[in-house]
Amino acid sequence: MSFLEIKNITKRFDKQTALSNVSANIEKGELVCILGPSGCGKTTLLRIIAGLENANSGKIIIDGKDCTSLPASERNFGIVFQSYALFPNMTVLQNILFGLQQKKSLSKADMLDKATEVLRLVDLTEHTNKYPRQLSGGQQQRTALARAIALSPSYLLLDEPLSALDAKVRARLRGEIRAIQRSLGITTIMVTHDQEEALTMSDRIIVMNNAVVEQVGTPRSIYDNPATPFVANFIGSMNFYKSGGEICAIRPEKLIPVERHEAYDIAAAVKALEFKGALTRIYAVLPEMDEIYVDIISDRADALGLHEGALLFLKAPAEYQIKYSAKAAV
Ligand SMILES: Nc1ncnc2c1ncn2[C@@H]1O[C@H](COP(=O)(O)OP(=O)(O)O)[C@@H](O)[C@H]1O
Ligand SMILES: [Mg+2]
């Protein structure tokens, strides 16, 4: 039995369908990302898991118990939003203590112990007495995380917790959140529209588009075997080209440039080269005018002497080709 079962959830707002028959299971101790473009229903699904929103149909089973109609106040979760939602007139410590006061059974001394412990866990011990405005965005979000875990919830819900932060802080916090989640072993569901964030942080990913689940799987399995052209395109980069009645797909790093006299699968004309540091991306055009791109080690690109207008010969290894029926829209 899974820790959390999302069963056939449908949610409509007026005529807008935000979730259409969404199902997924989440195991105890996992970090699962709900990934998809803006407006696909991620936040709505998270709010239904929290009990902050009611579904039109379907069930939410938590730890074997049907929680579908259970109000949020009776579900034992911690939550962090994109906006830090800290009280500006309270210090870091007071913000944490405020949350802990909900638990009436704790003595003052216990509360202080618990707050000290979670502040150490998120590495904010030296900022305990600062006000939110005296903290960086990353520190504010770590305070929000500390507040969410202080009550030892049985699961953690994170809605785009890193989106408001700049790239460097975001990358560091990914690792920090993951490390804290692992050390606590707390089941965590995180919403993100950032595929790299989902790939780097998750045990498994639920990929959504237009109110439906497109695929559920580990980052690796989704990257290697995207179930639909949407998933193939949304996660990483993907080339699509027509061959017979099918749509073929292959990742840009799986195409292998070869010398003219060697066996090749695809010939294309180089349109542009983009130096990206370790890798160079080659943009090229196939005879049928489909565009493809190829990522290769920059030194190899130099050795091939590629330039705009040059012919590029490529091997497309069969084991890396993915086929979709022509009906599946890209
Ligand atoms: N309270 C609401 N009232 C009306 N429409 C809503 C409400 N919340 C969400 N929606 C609509 O439901 C769809 C999914 O929204 P949301 O779950 O917030 O998407 P995401 O988090 O993936 O960006 C959107 O089209 C959004 O406009
Ligand atoms: Mg959202």
> Tell me, what's the pLDDT at 302?
86
CB-CB contact of 119 with 93 (8 Å): yes
With 70 as the cut, is the pLDDT of residue 330 above it? no
pLDDT category, 301, cuts 50, 70, 90? confident
With 80 as the cut, is the pLDDT of residue 327 above it? no
pLDDT category, 207, cuts 50, 70, 90? very high
* Residue 330 falls inside a structural domain: no
* Residue 208 falls inside a structural domain: yes
β-sheet with 155-159: strand ranges across: 77-80, 155-159, 187-192, 31-35, 204-209, 212-217
Name residues contacting ligand 1 (CB within 6 A): 13, 16, 18, 36, 38-44
* Residue 169 falls inside a structural domain: yes
Q: What is the pLDDT of residues 246-266, one digit of tens each?
A: 888 999 999 999 988 899 999
The dihedrals phi and psi of 92, each to the nearest 5 degrees, come to -55, -50
Rg (CA), the chain: 24
> Tell me, what's the pLDDT at 257?
93
Encode burial over 151-183: b for 16+ CB neighbours within 10 A, e otherwise.
bebbbbbbbbbbebbeeebbeebbebbbebbee
Q: What is the pLDDT of residues 68-103, one digit of tens each?
A: 999 999 999 999 998 878 999 999 999 999 989 887
Distance (Å) from CA 38 to ligand 2 centroid: 7
What domain range is 221 assigned to? 4-229
With 60 as the cut, is the pLDDT of residue 329 above it? no
- Ligand 1 closest atom vs CA 44: 17
Whether 11 and 32 map to the same domain: the answer is yes
Whether 81 and 213 map to the same domain: the answer is yes
- What's the CA gap between 117 and 152, in Å, rounded? 12
Whether 117 and 194 map to the same domain: the answer is yes
Q: What is the pTM of this model?
A: 0.92
- For the purposes of burial, counting CB atoms within 10 Å of the CB of 283, is it exposed (0-12), middle (13-18) or buried (19 or more)? middle
From 229, 255, 287, give the residue that closes a domain. Answer: 229
- Ligand 1 closest atom vs CA 37: 22
CB-CB contact of 240 with 229 (8 Å): yes
Q: What is the pLDDT of residues 98-118, one digit of tens each?
A: 989 887 788 999 999 999 999
> Tell me, what's the pLDDT at 85?
87
Number of domains in the chain: 2
- What's the CA gap between 211 and 17, in Å, rounded? 7
> Tell me, what's the pLDDT at 305?
85
> Tell me, what's the pLDDT at 83?
86
Whether 222 and 248 map to the same domain: the answer is no
Write the residue with the smallest CA distance to atom 6 of ligand 1. Answer: 13
> Tell me, what's the pLDDT at 275?
93
Specify which residues 204 forms β-bridges with: 32
> Tell me, what's the pLDDT at 328?
66
Write the residue with the smallest CA distance to atom 17 of ligand 1. Answer: 41
Write the residue with the smallest CA distance to atom 3 of ligand 1. Answer: 13
Whether 88 and 199 map to the same domain: the answer is yes
- Ligand 1 closest atom vs CA 191: 21
Residues 6+ apart with CB under 8 A from 294: 252, 253, 255, 257, 281, 282, 284, 312, 314
> Tell me, what's the pLDDT at 201?
97
Mean pLDDT of the chain: 94
User: Which ligand has an atom closest to residue 52 CA?
Assistant: 1
From 199, 229, 259, give the residue that closes a domain. Answer: 229
Whether 111 and 247 map to the same domain: the answer is no
